[in-house]
Amino acid sequence: MSWRLPFRFALALLLSACAHLLGLYLTDQPAARRNGAAQPMTVTLLHTPSQQSAPAELAPLALASPRPSEAVLPPLPPLSPPSTPPTQAPTGAVAELASPAADQEASWPDWLAVFGQDEDSVFYPANELDVRAAPLTLIEPAMPTDLPSHIQSGRVELELRINEYGIVSDIRVMAADPPGWFDLAAIHSFEQTRWQPAVRQGRFVKSLKRIEVCFGECILSLPATTEPEQAD
């Protein structure tokens, strides 16, 4: 039994030393943690942004400045006789009637009287023109073929609206004697005709022209100063 006492004493010393070392280790851990927390950390972020191709810069468009447009009148057709002769001998006479300004003003629509005349839409009467419109071809009214036996002559008064290009844009029957029998024949004589446009203040303008067409043995009701244009 003599050997057990020194063994126990050595074991106690060993356990005491281990406990002491464990205590020192546990005591140093908070300090190490505190020292470790106090040390700053340096973090480097590596970021490589994807390079996107920049949109191509649009080249400025060069716009040509428009030039002020100039009104160009179409060329008038050359004076030429009708391509085909009429099927029957013409028997009508044509004469231009005077168009007083009062009659023209009475025919203007209400909006023209209120807001004033628009020069682009006004058809000027003969007394307001420097040069009146003139036909470029020979006008030959034809006698209607469906007349009853008791009607051998007639008279039709027309109002022509001729634009600045010499084209008849409208024809109105102002009077007829006898009514209804010669209207279409008179209108057909003028609806396809071309005219030299009227002139006012140095430019072509729209114009009104009053025409009296006489069929058969009628007498033109014209002023003494106006000579009718007789058809062959």
Cα-Cα-Cα-Cα torsion 108, 110, 115, 117, nearest 10 degrees, comes to -10
Is the predicted pLDDT of residue 118 greater than 50, yes or no?
no
Whole domain around residue 102: which residue ranges? 92-230
Instruction: Tell me the whole-structure pTM to 2 decimals.
Output: 0.47
Question: Per the domain annotation, does 42 fall within a domain?
Answer: no
State residue 226's pLDDT score. Answer: 41
Q: How confident is the model at residue 57 (pLDDT cuts 50, 70, 90)?
A: low
Q: How many domains does the chain have?
A: 1
Q: How far is CA 224 from CA 155, 163, 221, 230, in A?
A: 18, 29, 9, 16
Which secondary structure element, helix H or strand E, spans residue 8, and what is its range? helix 4-38
The CATH number given to whatever domain includes residue 156 is 3.30.2420.10
pLDDT band at 101 (very low <50, low <70, confident <90, very high): very low
Quick one: pLDDT at residue 168? 94
Residue 75 lies in a domain: no
pLDDT computed for residue 120 by the predictor: 65
For range 194-206, the mean pLDDT: 94
